[in-house]
Chains A and B, each alone.
Chain A
């Protein structure tokens, strides 16, 4: 791929996930009860976030749990777990390496990515943002994306819920000017002071002389403003990529069907795809670990015919396989591990990602079928230079590998019976015999047979043999000429 001489101008996207506490709840598609996440404040449990069904009933954030239960008796309330939300944000940050090689974390709910350098790969800003949204939706993550030339402004836009991308520094000024102060998340004392002075928008703040601002509110405020429009650099600390991928999710509501688990798995796979992408690796094997309350964990191992870092490929294979898995007991934790990693051809990955509508690779199709039917049901065959008909072929479990031995065989049927069957109809022998013998020293496979082509009255042609050691002269059908 040709590289441009000049580096692409920096462009940042802030990916804000406003509903992380609520999204931890693993709900099956057929779930109809309202759900909410609560937070202990002093003696009271208050509703922190509620899902659409709960809100429709009037369960709004800030309501007490007892109040909420009074309006919605079927409400399922789960206590907020800040650690779990932090862990989820970490996964989202690792996953964001799918889109960019510069990722940083803005707790409690946002991830910043530099996308200027990725635009070309994804086919433009529109395509990249559409892809981010689409994949977030597939993972059932609510997302708000702010895009601007500086990380601070991108974050501000995401917090303000303004998803219109701002591409240039010149356009940034007017957009910033209209934004309120709240998304800046200023120190409470400064916020109150500005409000008292009648300053409500960032535009008003930028109009004030910087010297007087820093005299009244300190240097920090002016620095913040300067970082917003790029007058001061705003270096971001990159998210460290762990040496190995091992992520687990605790399910606040036990899952008794694999349907409820599928999007939890999808989220982990998205993180894995980012991890693999960041390290230029592909996964050859994947283990999904389902932990239960009492039983030993269920381990589901997936093997890929070619190492891959493609989210769709990994996700679909894992989902197919999970759908086939029978849960012995409800699941309390779901973990994803990948130990078998191999370098992948980055160019191949790039081509696949960039080329218009995505076309599944052969490995992906085969893996999906293997995931559903099991490895032993998907194979190719090869010939083996052996006399005995039963051993002159073999199965290969990895399609696309191996070669065909260039041996020309005498008359052989297209269909072989797994086990010879006693001939049951009148057959007419239609060929001279072919004697197939194995040496007497191969005691266990001693074979002395005369094979013929035979046909029945209907015109079906069979491959039959007589065992020379069998005095009765019984005829056995071993194959069909199809």
Chain B
């Protein structure tokens, strides 16, 4: 029996757990960032599963990370995607710059955090939305499990943005990544990887700021602006 045949045989047995399960077995779609794909199990964003992105703070590249995927899905494959409860207005000119087919991008502005979870579950379960991104203001392990099950049913990609403080909470989703801004780069570190171990990487902002149309970073004119220091809140 060849090694390949043995592999194939073992992979049909769900009762046998193999310590070094090959990451490629998780179905996934390329994120569009080669270093990120290399670090993720399945070489991309897992499909039929929920990925939690635990974000340090808004404005560090957390949405840029998903832009190549959204562009492929909406523009190349004419599939529908949805943003649920985005923290600010998704700005059409920037999305268009990123090559996203805007008519395929549904935006849902739920009246409460629970409604947001309800809509996300519904969209994921339908199987008509290839990717659903939720900015979760309040969620629980049970809620996340429901989303994960809905994604399994529908086969789409579920992305849930949560605050990085919630990394300590248990969550039954397939993949959890912590996003931080470190030394001008976006650091992507695995918190939980089902079926394997991921590794931390740093993405150069040059990779992901291009879609927003900014020739980044621009250093030829640097000046400091003086302004009183008070916390900045979402509008």
Q: Nearest CB to that of B224 among chain A residues? A: A428
For the complex, is B181 an interface residue (Cβ under 8 Å from A)?
A: yes
Per-residue interface assignment for chain B, residues 50 to 78, with 1 indicating a CB less than 8 Å from any chain A CB and 0 otherwise: 00000001111111100000000000000
Per-residue interface assignment for chain A, residues 351 to 362, with 1 indicating a CB less than 8 Å from any chain B CB and 0 otherwise: 000000001111
B57 engages A432 (CB within 8 Å)? no
| Chain A positions within 8 Å of B140 at CB level | none
| Chain B positions within 8 Å of A409 at CB level | 93-94, 96-97, 213
For the complex, is A412 an interface residue (Cβ under 8 Å from B)?
A: yes
For the complex, is B221 an interface residue (Cβ under 8 Å from A)?
A: yes
Q: How far is the CB of B103 from chain A (nearest CB, A)?
A: 5
Residues 188-235 of B contacting A (Cβ, < 8 Å):
209, 212-235
Number of cross-chain contacts by CB at 8 Å: 224
Q: Nearest CB to that of A427 among chain B residues? A: B225
For the complex, is A41 an interface residue (Cβ under 8 Å from B)?
A: no
| Chain B positions within 8 Å of A458 at CB level | 57, 60, 181
B59 engages A416 (CB within 8 Å)? no
For the complex, is B38 an interface residue (Cβ under 8 Å from A)?
A: no
Residues 390-413 of A contacting B (Cβ, < 8 Å):
392-394, 396, 399-413
Binding stretch for chain A, among B11-19, B27-35, B104-112, B165-173: B104-112
For the complex, is A227 an interface residue (Cβ under 8 Å from B)?
A: no
| Chain A positions within 8 Å of B118 at CB level | 372
For the complex, is A415 an interface residue (Cβ under 8 Å from B)?
A: yes
B127 engages A414 (CB within 8 Å)? no
Whether A482 touches B59, Cβ cut-off 8 Å, given contacts A411-B212, A429-B222, is yes
B92 engages A426 (CB within 8 Å)? no
Whether A426 touches B90, Cβ cut-off 8 Å, given contacts A373-B109, A404-B101, A412-B212, is no
Whether A481 touches B214, Cβ cut-off 8 Å, given contacts A361-B128, A362-B128, A378-B109, is yes
A369 engages B105 (CB within 8 Å)? no
Q: Nearest CB to that of B86 among chain A residues? A: A415
Residues 419-465 of A contacting B (Cβ, < 8 Å):
419, 421-432, 453-454, 458-462, 464
For the complex, is A470 an interface residue (Cβ under 8 Å from B)?
A: no
Whether A431 touches B218, Cβ cut-off 8 Å, given contacts A409-B96, A414-B64, is yes
Per-residue interface assignment for chain B, residues 23 to 47, with 1 indicating a CB less than 8 Å from any chain A CB and 0 otherwise: 0000000000000000000000000
Whether A482 touches B64, Cβ cut-off 8 Å, given contacts A404-B96, A429-B221, is yes
For the complex, is A76 an interface residue (Cβ under 8 Å from B)?
A: no
Q: Nearest CB to that of A422 among chain B residues? A: B227
CA distance A380 to B224 in the complex (A): 37
Binding stretch for chain B, among A176-184, A229-237, A472-480: A472-480
| Chain B positions within 8 Å of A416 at CB level | 88-91
A interface, size bucket: 35 or more
For the complex, is B123 an interface residue (Cβ under 8 Å from A)?
A: yes
| Chain B positions within 8 Å of A369 at CB level | 108, 119, 122-123
For the complex, is A245 an interface residue (Cβ under 8 Å from B)?
A: no
A423 engages B227 (CB within 8 Å)? yes
B interface, size bucket: 35 or more
Whether A380 touches B232, Cβ cut-off 8 Å, given contacts A460-B59, A481-B209, is no
Other-chain contact of A407, B96, B102, B105, B233 (Cβ < 8 Å)? B96
Chain A CB within 10 A, most for which of B94, B108, B182: B94
Other-chain contact of B229, A362, A414, A425 (Cβ < 8 Å)? A425
B90 engages A414 (CB within 8 Å)? yes
| Chain A positions within 8 Å of B94 at CB level | 409, 412-414
A460 engages B181 (CB within 8 Å)? yes
| Chain B positions within 8 Å of A432 at CB level | 218, 220-221
| Chain B positions within 8 Å of A368 at CB level | 122
For the complex, is B95 an interface residue (Cβ under 8 Å from A)?
A: yes
| Chain A positions within 8 Å of B91 at CB level | 393, 412-416, 479
For the complex, is B22 an interface residue (Cβ under 8 Å from A)?
A: no
CA distance A479 to B234 in the complex (A): 10
For the complex, is A31 an interface residue (Cβ under 8 Å from B)?
A: no
A378 engages B225 (CB within 8 Å)? no
B213 engages A414 (CB within 8 Å)? no
B128 engages A360 (CB within 8 Å)? yes
Other-chain contact of B102, A382, A422, A427 (Cβ < 8 Å)? A382
Q: Nearest CB to that of B230 among chain A residues? A: A424
Whether A413 touches B212, Cβ cut-off 8 Å, given contacts A429-B223, A432-B220, is yes
| Chain A positions within 8 Å of B212 at CB level | 411-414, 481
Q: How far is the CB of B122 from chain A (nearest CB, A)?
A: 6
Beyond the given pairs A415-B86, A423-B227, 5 more chain A to chain B contacts, judged by CB atoms under 8 angstroms and listed by A's residue number, are A378-B107, A414-B91, A415-B89, A416-B90, A453-B216
Instruction: Give me the interface of A with B, judged by CB distance under 8 Å.
Output: 359-362, 365-366, 368-369, 372-373, 376-384, 389, 392-394, 396, 399-419, 421-432, 453-454, 458-462, 464, 474-475, 477, 479-482
Provide a sorted-by-A list of 11 A–B residue pairs whose CB atoms are within 8 angstroms.
Answer: A360-B126, A361-B128, A378-B107, A378-B109, A383-B96, A400-B104, A408-B213, A419-B235, A425-B229, A475-B225, A481-B59
